[in-house]
Amino acid sequence: MFLRLLSLLLISLLSFPTYAGQTVVLVHGYLGDGSTWRPLGLVSALQATGWQDAGHLFPNGPRTGPIAPTPLERYVYTVTLPSEAPLPTQAQWLDFYLRKLKAKHPNNSLILVGHSAGGVVARLVMVMSGIPIQGLITIASPHLGTEKAEWGTWLNNSPIGWMAPFLGLDTINRSQGLYWDLSREHPASLLFWLNRQPHPQAFYVSIVRATGDEWVPPYSQDMNVVPALRGLAMTITVAAKHGLHPGDGPLIASLLK
């Protein structure tokens, strides 16, 4: 199985046009933002292997951090999405960012790295936008949905939903569309539709939290369970909880090599 996955990865990489460099975009998950990646040293781990930290992108504002030309033109960006919004809304924001980056670095290929819901947002953009993406790495992403999202819907429809704003839990009220989108897939759901759409030729890697993930079951994190990607993704299992942790940085850096 490993040799087959390695062969598929090599074939997909060799089939791409030659680019001057690469632009990596880090996409956060639910209740996160672009700063989520930095305190844990994930961006620093990429810098240690030759990536230029190009800063953070805002919808209508400047990025942070200067961009100095590098011989390999390898840039890493963070973005902030409205993480409580439904998946299509978040995908529109990410599409906006990617088009800006493609215009700024027209000769660079794009690679997306998404944590949790951010991985599903990134995959939705790949299917819907038509922007050429060289690869997608997802970390603990609910590709088949998660029961925890259904709990969010239940809480909103319970007395807790009425009291949530007074308890500082009004994210439950604001996130109803997202909870619906991330519920376990069924024929009427967005995930059911997405998982059966043709996906672009790219390399796909799933980083699966094999133990300790209290939010997304391991089987849902593996893109090989997505009908449209069955047998086409590389799967790496790690023993960790759902959130990002410092070990993710070196792992992502090794995959990007």
| CATH number, domain with residue 50 | 3.40.50.1820
Residue 163: the pLDDT is: 65
Q: Are residues 132 and 227 in the same domain?
A: yes
Looking at the structure, do residues 236 and 210 belong to the same domain, yes or no? yes
Question: Encoding tokens for residue 128?
Answer: 């819907």
Indicate if the pLDDT at residue 15 is higher than 50: no
Same domain, 142 and 156: no
Q: Is 221 found in the same domain as 132?
A: yes
User: Using CA atoms, how far apart are residues 29 and 77, in angstroms rounded to an integer?
Assistant: 15
Mean pLDDT of the chain: 87
Buried b (16+ CB within 10 A) or exposed e, 182-202: bbbbeeebbbeebbeeebeeb
Residue 212 maps to a domain: yes
Answer whether residue 188 is part of any domain.
no
**Which pLDDT belongs to residue 174?**
86
pLDDT greater at residue 75 or residue 1: 75
In terms of domains, do 223 and 130 share one? yes
Residues 161 and 107 in one domain: no
Evaluate whether residue 190 is within a structural domain: no
Q: Are residues 176 and 55 in the same domain?
A: no
Q: Mean pLDDT throughout 53-79?
A: 70
Nearest to 204 by CA among 128, 127, 111: 111
Number of domains the chain is built from: 2
- Find the domain containing 169 and state its range: 150-183
Same domain, 39 and 94: yes
**Cα separation of the two ends of the chain:** 22
Angstrom distance (rounded) from CA 94 to CA 74: 20
With bands split at pLDDT 50, 70 and 90, how would you rate the model's confidence at 160? low
The mean pLDDT value for 68-93 works out to 88
Looking at the fold, whether 103 and 164 belong to one and the same domain comes out as no
On whether the CB atoms of residues 77 and 25 are closer than 8 A, the answer is yes
What average pLDDT does this structure show over 174-191? 95
Percent of the chain with pLDDT over 70: 80
Mean predicted confidence (pLDDT) in 245-255: 96
Are both 81 and 201 inside the same structural domain?
yes
Read off the pLDDT of residues 123-158 as tens digits, 9 standing for 90 and up.
Answer: 999 999 999 999 999 999 999 999 999 977 866 666
Beta-bridge partner residues of 138: 114, 206
In this structure, what DSSP letter does residue 200 have? P
Residues 77 and 176 in one domain: no
Q: Alpha-carbon dihedral of residues 166, 172, 174, 175, nearest 10 degrees?
A: 170
* Comparison of pLDDT for 8 and 230, the residue scoring more: 230
